[in-house]
Amino acid sequence: MLLIRFCFEQLFNIFIEDASLCEVTFNPELIKLLFEDEKNISLQFRTRISCLHFILNDNKKIMDIALDHLFITKCLFIYFDSYKKIELFPDILILLNKGDKFPIIVFEGLNLELYNMIININLSNREVEIIDEVAKVEKDEFEAGYNFVRYQTVKYQLFNINNPNFKFNVYNKKKENETIKVVINRII
């Protein structure tokens, strides 16, 4: 156990350019057990770019690592298996509640239902809350077009009417009725 703890300490003290969490992830419970008495050690992996691959049934561990143990300076990529149903990803929307923690979030392989849940957000005074009904958010569409492979691209801003400090740029690329890619960038 001392060797495992030493390895984690080394990982927590370095900066990783690109990290990918897919089939093999760190167990968040093990990290908690190894460092339960430590108050002076940051238990976060510092990365520029991180990729989360939600293709397996054990997505809870990947989500826990992302929320509790990742410090990302540039972008969080989230890849989905497009054949899975939305019920398998209820915690994905929690990532938007941590909008200040992730500068840019890119969703790849979304189905239309999950895309609509992400876009229907209500920006409160403190955090982003995901709601089931139509959000009270003004959408300012500032660019739409088609590129040469027949993808429709749309860019717009989401912002709170009551608190203009909460602004997000949203870019999505669609092919027919299926959402392919969504980029959400918080404007500071």
Enclosing domain of residue 73: 1-81
Tell me: do 1 and 73 sit in the same domain. yes
On whether residue 188 sits in a domain, the answer given is yes
On whether residue 97 sits in a domain, the answer given is no
Q: What is the mean pLDDT of residues 27-49?
A: 88
* CA pair distance 42, 44, nearest whole angstrom: 6
Q: Are 103 and 78 in contact (CB under 8 A)?
A: no
On whether residue 144 sits in a domain, the answer given is yes
Tell me: do 116 and 176 sit in the same domain. yes
Distance of CA 73 to the CA centre of its chain: 13
- Segment 153-174, tens digit of pLDDT: 778 777 766 666 667 777 777 7
Q: To which H or E segment does residue 20 belong? A: strand 15-21
What pLDDT shows up at residue 143? Answer: 42
Beta bridge partners of 155: 143, 171
Quote the number of domains for the chain.
Answer: 2
What pLDDT shows up at residue 125? Answer: 47
What pLDDT shows up at residue 9? Answer: 92
On whether residue 137 sits in a domain, the answer given is yes
On whether residue 160 sits in a domain, the answer given is yes
Q: Is the pLDDT of residue 139 over 70?
A: no
* CA pair distance 15, 19, nearest whole angstrom: 10
Output the pTM of the full model: 0.69
On whether residue 106 sits in a domain, the answer given is no
On whether residue 44 sits in a domain, the answer given is yes
Nearest to 185 by CA among 70, 82, 117, 107: 107
On whether residue 5 sits in a domain, the answer given is yes
Distance of CA 103 to the CA centre of its chain: 9
Tell me: do 51 and 12 sit in the same domain. yes
What pLDDT shows up at residue 85? Answer: 52
Tell me: do 74 and 138 sit in the same domain. no
Which of 81, 99, 134 delimits the end of a domain?
Answer: 81
